[in-house]
Structures are given as C-alpha cells and as structure tokens.
Structure 1
Amino acid sequence: MNDTTRFRDVAAVSFAFEPAPWAWAEAHAERIDRHWAGLTAANPTLFDGHVLVLRRGEFVGDEFHGAYLETRYSRFIAWRDFGFPDPSLRNCFAMAALRARDGGFLLGVMGPHTSNPGKIYFAAGTPDREDIVDGVVDVAGSAVRELAEETGLDPAGLDVEERWTVVEHGPRIALMRRVRADATAAELRERIHANLAAQEQPELAGMVIVHDENDIAAHEAAMPPFLAAYLRRELALQPCG
C-alpha cells in the first residue's frame, strides 16, 4: 500500500451516483458475511446500511470529479478490514476541518460503540443514500451534516471555506474543507462536551485540541496518517497565535 500522502487544493468537487455491481464483494460474499457476523457479535449496535464507495475520480483543471456506487456497510467494512484488496475503488469521504478563533483544531474521539473506537478524526462520515440529491452525491452537505450531528454546533454560525483540499493516502481520499468558528478552542470543546453529555449514546467520546506539533505527537497514534500529515501542513501554512 502506498504510504505517501498527497495534497491538492481545488476550487470545487463534484460526484455523480452511478449504481453498479461490485464484483469483488459478490465474489467474496461468504467470507464477508462471516466477518460481519463476528463484528456484530462483539458490537451489536453495528448496522448494515447502505454506503457509497468511489468507483472513479480525476482532477479536471481546478476541480476534482468522480462517481460513487452503492454497497452494504458490511461489504465496505470487510474491504477495509481485509486491507482494501480491490484497488479499483477508493474510500472517499468529506471532512470538516474545524478550527477555532485562536487557531486550535478540534477533533473528535470516536466512541466505544462505533466501528473505530478511540480513533481521532475531524467530523466525517462515509457517504450514504441521504447524500444523493437528483443523482448527485452532495459531499459538501455530508460534511456539514456530520459536523452538526457529532458536535451539536450550528452550521449557520460557522464560516465554511469554499475551496477544498483533496488528501490522497493509499485507498483513502479525504476531502478536507476548512471550517472556522468564532470562539476559542477551549470554549468550543466545552460547548461540544456539554452537547455530548446530553446524548444517550453519542458518536464521540470527547474532543481533543491541536495547537502545535506537540499536540499532534501526543495523539498521532490514534490518528490515521493522512490526518496527522494534513494538520502539519495546515499549521505550516498558518500557525496558531
């Protein structure tokens, strides 16, 4: 697997929904079902809904275009857990890179009932049927919706940048969109933690703040490599303070 992280800033992203069979998933259905049975035995809250996986993508000028197919979550998670054996598809998702007024980034710690317990991410989610609008996959809407659902922050009070950073790392493509909040990182964390405490089973266990390299190093073991690389790039472009 390619461990290099590549960045490209673009003015826009756009994706079609193009239903198609997934030959790999069909060929390995029995193994996938056994894997899913083991996962749900350990975590009965997992749900085998429908998600979207990128079947093609390319840069065209100052934009990134592509198309998704639909599959079941059990197929997607097996593909991930088996090491992404089918290279014809990519795991492409949008992330809201939340940054406070004082420059600190806020990232969530995934809860124990999720498929990635303890992992640290910006608000994000695998695209699904809710994101399909008139044959188009609305990744911008997905990022904002996930941010609101996970943190309780009102999107109307946030400054969402128009441009995107496409971050490629092996089979993953993170579509990063900068989101600014007019509050300090400590204030935002307190507000989000209060929202999480009011939920019966929140997706996040808590929030961490990243101001500098020391903060990245302290949490890097729980972050995917592309995310640590993105944070270092952003802090180099615009340091805190």
Structure 2
Amino acid sequence: MSGGDAMSGLRNDGAGTAGQARVIGEVSAVEIGLGPGLPAFATARRAEIEAHWQARLAANPALFNGAVLGFERVSVAGGRLSAVARRMDFATLLALLDWRPAGVDLFNLFGAAAILSSDGRLVLGRMNGWTANPGHVKFVGGTPDDSDVTADGRVDLVGSIARECAEETGLDAADAVGAPSFLVVADGPLVGLVGVLRFPWNAADLVGRIERFIAADPNAEIEAVVALSRVSDAAGLDIPCYNRVALDALLPR
C-alpha cells in the first residue's frame, strides 16, 4: 500500500471532477460520532431531492428510501479518519452522488471489504440487477445506517465492514488472518474506508464459499464473484473509480 499523507478536511469539488478518485492514505484509527438533525443539503434541496428520487424509482422500482447516515467534516490526518455522522434518507444519498454538488460538506463515507485470498487474489462481487448499482464489480460494502451506531453514539465503520462482508458473502471477518489494514480512497462525495481482510483459503475456495452462499439467498446483493490477480485483470469490467484506485494500491500491475 501507499503511505498515508497528512491531508485533512476533504472537499467536494463538484461534478467536473467525477472519476478523479485518489488514495488519501492508510489509517489505523477511526473516530466518528453521530450528530443531531439532518444535513443542511437534505433540507435546503428537499423538493429537488424528492423529484430526483421519483425519477430514479420509476427506473428501478426495487429501490427503497430507507434511513442511512451521511457524513460531514470528514478528515484524514495523522493516520486517523474522523467525521460527524447525521441521519438522512437514501433519496438524499442518491441525489448527492448523482449531482456531486460542489462545495457541499456532505459525503457518502462507507466501509468496504477487500477480500484477499491466501494466494494473493482479490475477490469482488458483481452487483445484482435490483440494486442501486446493477452490474458494478466492486468490493463488498455499503452505506452505514443505524445498525452501525453504538450505544454511546459512535459510528462503528470497522464493524460495518464486517457486517456487510457477512451479509453479502457469508464470510466471517473473524476468520481473516491477522489484523486488517485500512486504506481511505475518495472520489468527490464518495469516500471509502477499505478494510483488507486476508483469509486463509485460496481464491478457488473463497469463490466457492461465496457462490454457495449467494445461491442460497434469493435476495443476494451480488450475482457473481470475480477474482483478480493483477490490475490488468480488471480491464473491461464495470468497476467504480474509487475501487480501481484501491486495486492499484493492492495488486501488481
């Protein structure tokens, strides 16, 4: 992995920077607290957000406008990721990601599991057709919600990675070998905390385990499993930009 830098105070630079993802650095600590009220973006543009949601829902009726967490004052400095979380709805999240409004202090900060096999291959999932990102090939993970908030008001983003890994693949993060390492990547309002989970099984075994799990789940979020040995293996796949820069940091060319 690349070494962490001292950058702090992440910014949304607007739609013109879409696809310009970058590695922010490695972190060893995460400090996120839940704040009161809605993000300012969610209230200031409520009518536009609702109209946008109706258009997205018409295109994909399987979408669900549930409660999620948005994040303000996201910063990375001294090996520490910090932020303030606020509750909002999924419609607000989709509007944020689709519009990428410049200067808005609101981020889709989420945890993602980079599943690494004992023979050095990264295992990703292809998203099912009913999800918000059908066909995308990416690390398993998802936007945090109230289930990731602890009793004392902290957002457990590391725990969210383990939860999403289990829900989407059936893999237990506790089976990983050694402590995970964490890489922060950003693409405008989208910021991923990528936890590298090193499992004691080779790629064929890992893929088989996940395929059996998703075959038994009629509501599986991923429809297929992809294992990559090198960055060049990802050519032609529909991989989000943030995920591609993470691949560059984790795999040989």
TM score, norm. by length of structure 2: 0.86
How far apart, in 1, do the equivalents of 2:117 and 2:211 lie?
15
Structure 1 position 17 matched with structure 2 position 34: yes
Structure 1 position 156 matched with structure 2 position 174: yes
How far apart, in 1, do the equivalents of 2:230 and 2:77 lie?
34
How far apart, in 1, do the equivalents of 2:162 and 2:104 lie?
29
Structure 1 position 190 matched with structure 2 position 190: no
Aligned to 1:181: 199
2:234 pairs with 203, 216, 225, which one?
A: 216
Q: Deviations over 1:83-118 (max 9, x none)?
A: 345521121111111000110000011100001000
TM score, norm. by length of structure 1: 0.90
Aligned to 1:225: 241
Aligned to 2:82: 65
CA contact (8 A) 1:52 1:126 kept: yes
| Aligned-CA RMSD value | 1.8
1:37 pairs with 54, 57, 62, which one?
A: 54
Aligned to 1:203: 221
Which one is further off, 78-87 or 136-145? 78-87
1:160 shift after superposition: 5.7
Task: Give the AA of the match of 1:27.
Answer: A
Structure 1 position 135 matched with structure 2 position 153: yes
Structure 1 position 111 matched with structure 2 position 157: no
Identity among equivalent pairs (%): 34
Runs of 4+ in 1 over 4 A off after TM superposition: none
Counting only pairs closer than 5 Å after superposition, residues 70-85 of structure 1 correspond to structure 2 as 70-85=87-102
Aligned to 1:170: 188
Aligned to 2:250: 234
1:96 pairs with 94, 113, 117, which one?
A: 113
Call closer, same or farther: CA 1:162–1:182 in 2, change over 3 Å.
Answer: closer
Q: Deviations over 1:28-80 (max 9, x none)?
A: 22222122122223322221111111111223423121111110111111221
Aligned to 1:123: 140
CA contact (8 A) 1:101 1:182 kept: yes
Which one is further off, 33-42 or 43-52? 33-42
How far apart, in 1, do the equivalents of 2:83 and 2:92 lie?
21
Task: Give the AA of the match of 1:69.
Answer: R
Task: Give the AA of the match of 1:231.
Answer: L
Structure 1 position 47 matched with structure 2 position 64: yes
Gaps of 5+ in 2: 1-15
Task: Give the AA of the match of 1:178.
Answer: V
Task: Give the AA of the match of 1:17.
Answer: L
CA contact (8 A) 2:211 2:224 kept: yes
How far apart, in 2, do the equivalents of 1:170 and 1:79 lie?
10
CA contact (8 A) 2:169 2:210 kept: yes
CA contact (8 A) 2:123 2:207 kept: yes
CA contact (8 A) 1:11 1:163 kept: yes
Call closer, same or farther: CA 1:180–1:212 in 2, change over 3 Å.
Answer: same
Task: Give the AA of the match of 2:38.
Answer: P
Q: Deviations over 1:112-151 (max 9, x none)?
A: 0001000111111001111110210000110000000000
How far apart, in 2, do the equivalents of 1:122 and 1:225 lie?
12
